[in-house]
Amino acid sequence: MTYLSYSAFPTANGGGNPAGVVLDASAMDAHEMLALASDLGYSETAFLRPIGEREYSIRYFSPQAEVDFCGHATVAASVALAEDRYGAGDLLLRSNVGEIPVEVVDGPHGPQATLTTVTPDTTALEVLSELLELLGWDEGDLDPSLPYGAAFGGLWHPILWAASRERLAELEYDFEGLKDLMLRKGWGTVSLLFRESPTFIHSRNAFPVGGVIEDPATGAAAAALGGFLRTHDLLPADGQFTVLQGEDMGQPCLLAVDARGDAGVRVSGTARPISG
């Protein structure tokens, strides 16, 4: 099966989160998709099936299981479609969680994709003590000025704010225990955050359910965060902010988030082909 490899959400100086892309997976079943995703070893691989002009169904697989939504693989797939077939313009992707409109424009560093998620949601985090224990955190590690909770932008993610950037830089947790909790709660990743300013947020996303310690860039989590900040009236005046993720892994990624309005959250970024 022919596949492409792209690095999504890179900075101007490199980084990014690798994703596999299969532009026409019409002949593949779920077992074959999972097998390829496992062979590639990326946190997610996107599998597209054409429905109509600029319209596709899309499925995402980690090396271990199907994932209902993945932001960085959506950006990678959209840029791949732009470069291989369509150029700039609008796309409609139909995912397990609903329709994902994408706008692709020509940017200074190649195509830039902006996805719009399904309508976000938030809820209380009822397992805070258990989550903190598995992370090796205590309540003193949390920023008392910011709320914690769980947020949805295609997948559910707990939202925790570190009291300092130094605390965020330390990530050593109970891998199997956190994986079990995430499977029980249906979480995509665990979003650990530090708010440098209202417009600039540092993020780390624990991802044991995907078989890795953390994900370098998580568009679904960035979208969920946008909805969470909207709900708690913590957005900047223009509703836009930037997430820097993957820095502590040596894979810095920039995600631009626009949470204006009351519908889906927009997440933007570029993607670059991975050679070799």
Q: What is the pLDDT of residues 92-136, one digit of tens each?
A: 999 999 999 999 999 887 899 999 999 999 999 999 999 999 999
* 213 Cβ contact list (under 8 Å, min separation 6): 171, 175, 206, 207
Do the domains spanning 4-118 and 121-270 agree at the CATH topology level? yes
User: CA-CA distance, 91 to 60, in Å (whole number)?
Assistant: 17
Judge if pTM exceeds 0.85.
yes
Model confidence pLDDT, tens digit, residues 227-241: 999 999 999 999 999
**Phi and psi at residue 81, to the nearest 5°:** -65, -40
Domain 4-118: what homologous superfamily?
A: Diaminopimelate Epimerase; Chain A, domain 1 (3.10.310.10)
Model confidence pLDDT, tens digit, residues 129-178: 999 999 999 999 999 999 999 999 999 999 999 999 999 999 999 999 99
* 137 Cβ contact list (under 8 Å, min separation 6): 160, 167
The per-residue pLDDT for 276 is 59
Domain borders along the chain are 4-118, 121-270
**Phi and psi at residue 38, to the nearest 5°:** -65, -40
Tokens for 180? 């079990």
Q: What is the CATH number of domain 121-270?
A: 3.10.310.10
Strand duo 121-123 + 110-116: pairing: unpaired
